[in-house]
Amino acid sequence: DYDDSSPEIRKNLGRAYYTVTFPYDSSIVKFEFDYAAEVRIWKDTGEPMDVIFGNGMGRNFFSSSFEEQTNRPLRIKDRNHVRRAP
């Protein structure tokens, strides 16, 4: 997926992650990809690795974190409430 010559990429090679895919109704709208968005989340930290939107645009969080890029704290949702990640 990424050019692994970058030190930010190389240090994450082999790291486990989850993929969350957000489907959409293709009878209403058409995207380049078969999903509205796809997010890959690091298994060990729960932080996003990257997000790709159905139109092909996206953002990765290798060189700067989710918080740095969005100016929003990462929030973790559990059954009882939403809390700010440590």
Q: Spell out the per-residue pLDDT of the chain, length 86, in tens.
A: 666 778 888 888 889 999 999 999 999 999 999 999 999 999 998 989 999 999 999 988 887 777 777 776 556 555 555 445 44
Dist CA 83 CA 2 (whole Å): 32
> Residue 23's pLDDT is what?
95
Structure tokens at 19: 């993929």
Q: Tokens 């930290």 map to which residue?
A: 45
Sign of CA dihedral 68, 44, 52, 72: negative
Instruction: Indicate the burial class of 84 (C-beta count within 10 angstroms; 0-12, 13-18, 19 or more).
Output: exposed
